[in-house]
Amino acid sequence: MSTSVLIIIFVVALVFSLGFLLLVITLVPAIQQFKSLLVDMEKTSLEMRDLARELKRVSVMAEDRLEKVDMVLAQSKRTVENAGDALQFISQNVLRRSAGLLAFLPAIKIGWNLIRKIKGGNK
């Protein structure tokens, strides 16, 4: 082989090796950053799992409490309905039937006050 061919091969090999060296020099920090990114992602993943477990626990607690609130609301509704029925019964049966007698209550009170006044006042 001639010396010019050897020089050309040497120069090409030198260029390739310099290019590979520059590639390695630039990729090593990128690989280190990628490693640290993977470590951070692993920590974040663990935190997310813990948070998901905690969220499920809180969700179950909230559902239990909402079921209790639903029960309280249902019981309150029944209580209000029963109270309404009782008041309707009182209104229709007791107050309407005794409305004539209830009209005399103020007159009876006035009469009672007059009797007390005649007997000697408030004692």
- Angstrom distance (rounded) from CA 25 to CA 20: 9
Confidence bin at 95 (pLDDT 50/70/90): confident
The two three-digit tokens of residue 84, written as one number: 């309404």
Mind listing the pLDDT tens digit for each residue in 28-59?
A: 888 999 999 999 999 999 999 999 999 999 99
Count of domains observed in the chain: 1
* Domain encompassing residue 102: 3-119
Torsion over CA: 111, 115, 116, 120 (sign): positive
CB 95 within 8 A of CB 102: yes
Q: How far is CA 1 from CA 4, 7, 11, 20, 38, in A?
A: 8, 10, 15, 27, 51
